[in-house]
Structure 1
Amino acid sequence: MSRGRFSPWLQRLLLAGLAAGMVLAGGEIALRGVRFSAPVQPITIVGRDGKAKPDDDRGMIPDSELQFRFNPGAEWRGRRINALGFLGREAESNKAPGAVRVICMGDSCTAQGNPPYADFLHERLTNAPPTPQPWEAFNMAVHGYSSEQGLRLFRRQTRYLQPDYVTLYFGWNDLWRSRTTDRLKLARRSGPIWGRIQKLMNRSRLYQFIVSRSQARQTPDADNYVLRVPPEEYRQNLLALVTEIRAAGAVPILITAPRASTLTPLLAANRQVARIEDAYRLHDEYCEITREVAKETGAPLLDLARIFREESLDALFSDDGIHLVKDGRRRIAEEIYKLLVELNATRSRE
């Protein structure tokens, strides 16, 4: 009885599904036939030349909590990602007994370069440790990360690696424009299965067509954009990082992101800012927030923005005015090293 009653309904459902599938398949085939392509929502990283670059499909992978992350063991732009999932030297998860561990967190300004400044710092600390104990440093920064992602990364991984010092070099990605704030975007957590489904959908020409038509109806003016991490949320993230780093038994070191006297106009062309003047203004604002948080919490501050400005160190920047060339990364490592020596000298006098 039950079988006969539902059979026509099931037949209609199957026929409807088959018809819909044929329509979708036909659309997909037609779009591929005319070689339509409009990649949807790739992970984009701004390079040292100021141009947005898509992620390497194997080196940068979706993450349900962080949005994206490096893939341990894979290669990304000619560099091998270490076992911890970051660029730079290999580091053990377990700290050696008696060792002092410095972890460098941040965005591409910290992650970029071969070697990154964390490796220069490691070399300096190894050759001339500030105290009799053995010292080490390694990188836990990711291209494209904001302070919102940095906070989540610390909670998920960094705090379990027994840091003694954690440097925080964020700000640039926080002030870029986006359709949605990072906090809202990252609140929409999904599992790895959905991440794989989303990746497959992004490869569908039909899905690309639908999304591209939808985006084409949106007017790309300033009213449609927000900052990835608005100023107050940036302040909250830094305050949370300082609190949680201390709770983990480590010392937070806040760093203001330096810039050259001239930034690339591509920042406005890429719509990361509405006008290039906004990049200067917002950068100054976020640096000042970093200083205020350091003063409010008593956390050590390395004011690289002031140091690089006062010493006119434009030659240490790449063409975008944001990322550092090799000598610039070496200089950052030296400034961090000097601060660590100073902090430990102060401790020994107390």
Structure 2
Amino acid sequence: MPLRKLAKSLISLVLAFLALEGVLRATDADRRIIGDPFKVQEKDIILHYLAVDSFLQWRGRVGTPLMQPSEVISSQGLRSPEISRKKPPRVRRIAALGDSCTFGFVAMGKFDFQTPRPYPALLQDLLDRNLGPGRFQVINYGLIGYTTYHGLRMLRREVLPDDPDFVVIRFGWNDLIGSPTSRSFANVHNPWLERLEDLAYHSRLIGLLLYRGSPVDPRSRAPWTVSAHPVPWVTPEEYAWNLGRMIDLARAHGAKPILLDAPAAPITPEIRANKDFIGGVRYGTIEQFLAAHDRYQAITARVARDKGVPFLHTTPPPEKAFQYFSRYDIPHPSAGGQERIAQRLYAEIISILAREGAL
């Protein structure tokens, strides 16, 4: 009798869940409940590119124009041309995971922001020009504000289903920034829970419940505070785990992972004068922020060494730093910096393919 009651209860619960799921899908009530927290702040040069996503927290806002002529965010929420999920025959796909440096964003003055062509697009140009068009597709999965927490989820959700041959990974800035929620974020570490999570996020009801319980909504951020040791968005230990997991998943899929460094620009009087920047990253001083950055970069190098994957150094020589960085921006490469990254990546990919006799 108790088992029969339990079975009836479970059946009732499943039916109620399916009914609520159906109502949400039929009425889009979940989307009205969540609202559009990024859209209401559309005057913000950063936030207006973003839209809510219950699994990724946010993604690119489909159709949003960029500063390049006729360029908009794709239907997949990416700064890339439209692609089919099924990879065309005899085409190699290169996936670029990262943050706003990969998306392509740089401050050229205190109130002057640009979206130069990012290194994935420039890499596509190099491959097309030197090896012929149609042989490679470079897809830019980078997005403003992303950390390795988001990168791993993007890899699971979007990148692996797109069947990449190479996965380029470039993080190391937003992970160390003081968390806007005053707590760090971590992915599940159990592969079975990971698969269950991937399945669960196909549910609109679960997505609604989890998003409403998440403090990342820009309408409800914690008050801005600064500290010599703020609570980072992603802890150093979790940063290392996320990088390693991305490498392992890429390899399990048959893709070749490549890690990139994320160098810092020289500190200029213009950067020191920008109090909004140092307050925004929640460190007490620029020196404290850069010391944390060095620790995370050392982790990237260690993970690459331990996993046996290429680690590309893109730091420019000091005398040429301002060919590759803006005087107003520490993390983001300028147009020249994006070109340098693309050239280093191109050389590495060609070298890998040549060693395999695959050119």
TM-score by length of 2: 0.70
Letter in 2 for 1:92: S
1:245–1:184: structure 2 CA closer, same or farther, 3 Å change rule? Answer: closer
Aligned counterparts of 1:229 and 1:165: Cα–Cα separation in 2: 25
Query: Paired residue for 2:72, among 80, 84, 87?
Result: 80
1:115 aligned partner: 117
Cα RMSD, aligned residues only: 3.5
**Structure-to-structure mapping, 1:1-350, within 5 angstroms:** 53=45, 55-56=47-48, 59-75=49-65, 79-112=71-104, 113-129=115-131, 134-178=135-179, 179-183=182-186, 191-193=206-208, 220-222=225-227, 225-262=230-267, 264-265=271-272, 266-304=276-314, 307-309=315-317, 312-318=320-326, 319-348=328-357
Cα distance in 1 between the residues matched to 2:291 and 2:239:
15
| Per-residue CA distance 1:94-124 (angstroms, 9 max, x = gap) | 2111111111110000001342211111111
Cα shift at 1:170: 0.6
Q: CA 1:193/1:232 → structure 2, altered by over 3 Å: closer, same or farther? A: closer
Distance 1:231 1:127, change over 3 A: same
User: What is the CA-CA distance between 1:66 and the residue it aligns to?
Assistant: 1.2
Looking at structure 2, the residues matched to 195 and 76 of structure 1 have their Cα atoms a distance apart, in angstroms, of 30
Q: Does the CA-based 8 Å contact 1:176-1:228 persist in structure 2? A: yes
SS in 2 for 1:168: strand
What secondary structure is seen at the aligned counterpart in 2 of 1:183? coil
TM superposition score normalised by structure 1: 0.71
Moved more, 189-198 or 133-142: 189-198
Distance 1:88 1:262 in 2: 32
* Structure 1: unaligned runs, 5 residues or longer: 1-40, 45-51
**Counterpart of 1:333 in structure 2: which amino acid?**
A
Secondary structure of 2:357 counterpart: helix
Alignment-mate amino acid for residue 172 of structure 2? G
% identical aligned pairs: 29
Report the AA paired with residue 300 of structure 1: P
1:344, distance to aligned residue in structure 2 (A): 1.7
Q: What residue number does 1:32 align with? A: none
2: CA distance between counterparts of 1:333 and 1:127?
13
Provide Cα deviations, 1:42-81, integer angstroms capped at 9, x if missing partner: 669xxxxxxx85511xx42111111111133344678511
Report if the CA contact (8 A) 1:42-1:55 is conserved: no
CA displacement 1:203-260 (0-9 Å, x = unmatched): 9xxxx8xx79xx67xx935389401111111100001000000011100000110221
Measured in 2, the distance between the counterparts of 1:85 and 1:74 equals 9
Q: CA deviation at 1:192?
A: 4.8
